[in-house]
Structure 1
Amino acid sequence: MRWKVVSWIEIIKVVARLSLLKLSGRRMVTGTVVPERLVDPARSRCGRASATEGNADLGGFVTAEAREPEKVAPALSLIRKYGPMGLAGELLFILRPIIYVLSLRKMGKRDWRPWALSLVVELASRQLIRTDLRPASGSERTVEKDELSRRKWLFLYYLLRSPFFDRFTESRLTRVADWCNNKPLLSLLGALIQDYQPLWQQYYFYTAAS
């Protein structure tokens, strides 16, 4: 029952992300916040904001802010459209969680194949996206860079997933926690590790990165 619920949650998330991919016109589905803009791109012309009477100072401030293209550009222009390789990579990234959870249901948490399959899919996704965006690297957008950086950090979760966690990470974390427990201030870190270890092992979404 537990894995059925997890599977349906992942399916709903996949459908939502595929919808976003389609609505955005084959652009990267980001998990980061779009940069805050002080100018409404729909009302600004050529990056200029007109000041009403009595608001000259405000108008000058807004005009200065508008000199940064990403603060006045339409939302869809903050992320480039994918080519075929990038689109394939994005689809792999979106589908990776459901591939992982379905393989877990079939093979079990202690089998290395779900862990390895998920890692291979994610590495392939990253390589395809980077290859697709590389020809236009000179015009790399901040939102794209932030999202790719966020996705890179998600690889750390593989250290906390079984069976890698059971085989390698757990014993090392236990030694670190034991060492920290006898040190002032560091004892807080040791207690934090000990508190989270059961959660990483028992609850799927703590390490799913989905």
Structure 2
Amino acid sequence: MPRTGLSLPTLPDSADISSYLLSRVLTADDIKPPKALLHRVTGKGELAEVVYILRPVVYALAMQYWSRSPEGRKSWQPWLLGLSIEYGARQLAKRDLQERRAGGLRGLTGLEKEELRKRGWGLGWWVMRGAFYENVTKMWIHSITGTLRNKPLLDMVGGIVEDYEFLWDQYYFSTATL
């Protein structure tokens, strides 16, 4: 490259493309056959997966049922039911993995570890859902933005959070992360 002084990397021989790609991109998990990426689930693990799949339906039905009460969105029953189902499914799956896998949770593939991590974060999203958000998180946000008022630069942060609160209240729905 005359202007920059950099040189282009050499291209591999056309007969050697597969070894070039293997050395650059793929990991050991990437070249495993699909059946080796996940362990087969049976018994408790299968029950845990069914419960995990049905949890958004149960939560939505509970929200619909308890929304008729005077408390409406502030009712704790659907929130507690949904959180219990998600936590129960997670614990059931972890127990099954520990009992049936050699090495317990350490014997999981990368894909299984990633899925467990994602489900762990899913438990954290319950602070932005249902009664917990209406009764606790919203009050916590108001107290923080209230303490930031009339303080240089921090007032701007509080204002941004208050502006986004409108979006959370109007556009976020309780099953968005299920």
Query: Under a length normalisation based on structure 2, what TM-score does the superposition of the two structures give?
Result: 0.73
Bigger radius of gyration, 1 or 2?
2
Cα distance change on mapping 1:102 and 1:206 into 2, 3 Å:
closer
Q: Indicate the percent of aligned positions where both proteins have the same amino acid.
A: 28
CA RMSD of aligned residues (A): 2.7
Cα distance change on mapping 1:62 and 1:96 into 2, 3 Å:
same
The answer for the alignment partner of 2:42 in structure 1 is 83
Aligned residue among 120, 131, 134 for 2:95: 131
Please list the CA deviations of residues 6-29 of structure 1 after superposition, one character each: whole Å capped at 9, or x if unmatched: xxxxxxxxxxxxxxxxxxxxxxxx
How far the C-alpha of 1:101 sits from its partner, in A, is: 0.9
Q: Given the alignment of the two structures, is residue 55 of structure 1 paired with residue 55 of structure 2, yes or no? A: no
Equivalent residue runs for 1:29-178 within 5 Å: 54-55=13-14, 58-64=17-23, 68-108=27-67, 109-134=73-98, 135-136=100-101, 137-178=105-146
The answer for the alignment partner of 2:3 in structure 1 is none
The runs of 5 or more residues in structure 2 that have no matched partner are 1-11, 68-72
| Secondary structure at the counterpart of residue 83 of structure 1 | coil
Question: Could you tell me how far apart the structure 1 residues matched to 2:18 and 2:132 are?
Answer: 57
| Secondary structure at the counterpart of residue 91 of structure 1 | helix
Query: Under a length normalisation based on structure 1, what TM-score does the superposition of the two structures give?
Result: 0.63
Contact map agreement 2:145 2:159 (CA 8 A) in 1? yes
How far the C-alpha of 1:188 sits from its partner, in A, is: 5.6
How far the C-alpha of 1:65 sits from its partner, in A, is: 5.5
Question: Could you tell me how far apart the structure 2 residues matched to 1:195 and 1:209 are?
Answer: 22
Contact map agreement 2:129 2:174 (CA 8 A) in 1? no
Aligned pair count? 157
The runs of 5 or more residues in structure 1 that have no matched partner are 1-52
